[in-house]
Amino acid sequence: MSQQHWRKTLTSHSLAEMLRRQHIIGIILVASSALLWSLGGSISRFITVDSSWTVVFWRSYFATVFLLIFMVIREGPDKTLQLFRAMGQPGVCVALCFAIASTAFIVALSYTTVANILLIQASVPLLAALLAWLLFGEKSSKATWIAIAAVVAGIGVMTSETLTGKISPVGDGLAVLIAFSFAIATVLTRRHAHVQMLPAVTLGTTIAGLVAMIFTTSYVVSIQDLGWLAAFGVINLGLGLAVFTLGARLVPAALAALIGTLEPILGPVWVWLTHAEVPSARTLIGGAIVFVSLLTHLILDWWRSSNLQR
């Protein structure tokens, strides 16, 4: 074997090893983000502040400060400013979607269970496929349409409890709004690949905080609540987004979505362990339909993509 061929072989092996390590790191980072996001419901139940708008304000404030510091350290002040300017209208729209979703999440927690919110949110990838077809005519496979129908049925089972009076329709309505907001943001991000997620999300937390400033009646909270609010904003929201942004670039989108299903699985578990908030039978049945539909669809999609690449 010639020296040149030997060097090429070593280079090829080194590149393959580097890509394998990046893939593993990406999986760990995305899984970590799902774990951090899943803590949101449990953290919120420790906060004793009565006003949802006060919670939105402090959570958004801590998240915005953290994300700005993270971007400046990682990109530098000038590059950070450039990233915000480069977002354009699509970035602003994504920011508005996130502001609506993050605000609705806090308000919904006062009306419904964490399990309802998170399991309805699990439908985002399939709702995004539906919206892409309605808005832009993007074609989806029969398997996707079957999965969408199953998700709609599962959400119907979960939200049917509002008819019994046990669960407020406001809470489940806000949970559906959250899912659609994230789905719209997902479609916009796909259609405008230049949109940077981190600047758009940072703008979203800023907008949410500014809106909360208008509606909140008081900013005063106890030291204990301030600690939980800081954790809610920095660890759950800010760090979760930062870690996801780093990891999502290293793994296929389908795999990132698949790993993201850890959030609706773990979220209700943490609330059950820390606050004894037990999901209802309809929530479990509807959530199982949504989760199995999403999981099956993502696994099949990943399997088909892997076969095409071979």
pLDDT at 303: 76
pLDDT at 6: 45
pLDDT at 278: 79
pLDDT at 16: 66
CA distance 68 to 64: 6
Residue 17: Cβ within 10 Å count: 10
Half-sphere exposure of 32 (CA within 13 A, CB side): 18
List C-alpha distances in Å: 10 to 2, 16, 37: 12, 10, 40
- Report if pTM > 0.85: no
Tokens 């808005």, located at residue: 135
Give the CA diameter of the chain.
78
Q: Which residues of the chain have pLDDT under 70?
A: 1-17, 19, 140, 159, 161-167, 252-255, 257-258, 305-310
**Alpha helices in 160-280, H assignment, sequence order:** 169-191, 197-215, 223-230, 240-248, 253-260, 262-275
